[in-house]
Structure 1
Amino acid sequence: MLTLTENATIAVKSLTEQVSTDTGGLRISEAVAPETGYALAIAGAPEPDDTVVESAGARVFVDRAASIALDDRVLDARVSDDGSVGFALAQQR
């Protein structure tokens, strides 16, 4: 199952607290064009078939197709000097 680093947990909580309710989270889904990676969006609640990953209050919703590919991945985040957040995926160790 997808796991979150401490940085990703903080970033997801920060993003969702600004624009969503307590049931909201970051949703990861397969992009329209596979070569572009994954689509990320803030969602008010998970879709019925989403896998919900929770970490210290951060919630990530992963659509069914993406959950298979991300099963052995770790989501990390970095905040740039201008405050923008970038997410990256890595293999679990």
Structure 2
Amino acid sequence: MLTLTKKAHEAVAAISRPTAPSHLPGLRICRRPDRPTFAVNRVVSPHESDLVVEHAGARVFLGPIAALRFSDSVLDVRTDDLGRLQFVVRAAA
């Protein structure tokens, strides 16, 4: 199961704050359709086939391929020189 570092949990929990009573947004990780990489996006709800990883207000939705690829991984976050968040998935230790 994908786990989150403390910093990633804080960032994803901030992203996952409800925007309306019927919307429970989260961070979605899925395979890009046009290249062999993964995309990370804020979305308002998971796709029907997504695996939902939820812990204490942080919601991560994994597309089917991402769920297989990152089943034993850790999600971390760092900030680039412009202050933008960059999510990184690495193998669990």
Matched, 1:90 2:69: no
Asked if the contact 2:16/2:24 (under 8 Å) is kept, the reply is no
TM-score norm. by structure 1 comes to 0.84
Unpaired runs of 5+ in structure 1?
A: none
Per residue, is there more helix in 1 or in 2? 1
Cα deviation per residue 1:36-68 (whole Å; 9 max; x = unaligned)? x21111111111110001122110000111100
Identify the residue that residue 26 of structure 1 maps to in structure 2. Answer: 27
TM-score norm. by structure 2 comes to 0.84
Paired with 1:15 and 1:63, the residues of 2 have a C-alpha distance of 18
Name the SS of the counterpart of 1:26 in structure 2.
Answer: strand
Kindly report which structure 2 residues correspond to 1:2-81, keeping only aligned pairs within 5 A, or say none. 2-17=2-17, 20-21=19-20, 23-32=24-33, 33-34=35-36, 37-80=37-80
Percent identity (aligned)? 38
- What amino acid sits opposite 2:11 in the alignment? A
Paired with 1:67 and 1:20, the residues of 2 have a C-alpha distance of 26
Displacement of 1:20: 4.2
Task: State the number of aligned residues.
Answer: 90
Structure 1 47/73 Cα, relative in aligned 2: closer, same or farther at 3 Å?
same
